[in-house]
């Protein structure tokens, strides 16, 4: 098994998508197989293509079947192993993705291996839960999911009726969405108001009965603070085009897309989360 394929698959599974050019040319037959069964799909861009994970469990199953040494290769490529083998921790490929979690009220519930974790309200400090340990944790309550760190830290000012805030940092991992489907939660989703943010809500709404947060004054905020540079990025334009061609989008996404088109830009969510 080639090292480039190991590295590529690991990045793809962690981030959910990669540039098509990153896929090793010698492994195109395996890529064609993954696309044929629907584990991966290609998204065209103005300057190339992007590979996206569509069915993470199916992808994992195919990797286990076709590349039995994959997990062993990953386990041996920690920062410690990279130092021991190559004298450079930065050559490691092992990462530790996770989510941030804060209590916003005394009503939410969090447990680890069925043991209730004490709530701590009124602090900006937060708990990090690694994706690899999600299945050991359970939450219950009204959850608000935020894309960026500052809105997450000040989320109770805008979402006083929610119990738990989750910081998902840009892209929602498939294992996080699957974990949320097993929890007793009501989810409000708070992304940036741009094509990537709307696409993330589209993904999570396919798994959960989630609500997109539409703040008061959204149109006025677009008029004053939206940035045209958002649509200068080829990836954003490609995602916008794909969303516009969809016939089954939630009304809330369609409304935001109308604003993106009208003002030819995206809006950072931070405009609604004052730190003062």
pTM of the model: 0.74
DSSP-assigned beta bridge partners for residue 98: 130
Angle at the Cα of 102 from the Cα atoms of 101 and 103, rounded to 5 degrees: 130
Spell out a b/e string for 71-83, using b for 16 or more CB atoms within 10 Å of the CB, else e.
eebbeebbeeebe
Q: How far apart are CA 86 and CA 271, in angstroms?
A: 45
- CATH fold for the domain made of 98-272: Dna Topoisomerase Vi A Subunit; Chain: A, domain 2 (3.40.1360)
Q: What is the pLDDT of residues 221-259, one digit of tens each?
A: 999 999 999 998 887 888 898 899 888 899 999 999 999
Give pLDDT, residue 182: 95
Give pLDDT, residue 74: 53
Boundaries of CATH 3.40.1360.10 in the chain? 98-272
- CATH fold for the domain made of 3-91: Arc Repressor Mutant, subunit A (1.10.10)
DSSP-assigned beta bridge partners for residue 184: 140
pLDDT > 70 in the chain, percent:
96
Boundaries of CATH 1.10.10 in the chain? 3-91
């Amino acid at each position: 098994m080639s090292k480039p394929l190991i590295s590529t698959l690991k990045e793809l599974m962690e981030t959910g998508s990669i540039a098509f050019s990153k896929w090793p040319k010698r492994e195109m037959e395996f890529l064609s197989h993954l696309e044929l069964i629907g584990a991966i799909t290609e998204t065209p861009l103005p300057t190339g293509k992007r590979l996206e994970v569509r069915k993470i469990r199916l992808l994992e199953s195919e990797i286990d079947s076709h590349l039995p040494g994959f997990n062993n290769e990953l386990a041996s490529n920690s920062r410690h192993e990279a130092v021991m083998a190559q004298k450079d921790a930065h050559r490691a490929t092992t990462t530790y993705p996770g989510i941030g979690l804060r209590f916003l009220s005394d009503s939410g519930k969090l447990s680890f291996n069925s043991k209730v974790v004490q709530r701590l309200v009124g602090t900006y400090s937060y708990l990090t839960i690694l994706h690899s340990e999600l299945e050991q944790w359970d939450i219950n309550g009204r959850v608000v999911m935020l894309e960026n760190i500052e809105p997450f830290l000040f989320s109770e000012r805008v979402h006083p009726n929610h119990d738990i805030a989750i910081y998902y940092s840009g892209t929602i991992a498939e294992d996080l969405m699957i974990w949320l489907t097993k929890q007793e939660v009501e989810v409000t989703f708070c992304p940036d108001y741009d094509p990537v943010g709307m696409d993330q809500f589209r993904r999570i709404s396919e798994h959960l009965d989630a609500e997109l947060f539409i703040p008061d004054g959204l149109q006025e905020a677009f008029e004053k603070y939206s940035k045209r540079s958002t649509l200068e990025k080829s990836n954003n334009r490609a995602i916008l085009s794909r969303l516009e061609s969809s016939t089954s989008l939630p009304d809330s996404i369609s409304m935001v897309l109308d604003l993106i088109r009208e003002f030819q830009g995206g809006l950072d969510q931070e405009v609604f989360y004052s730190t003062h």
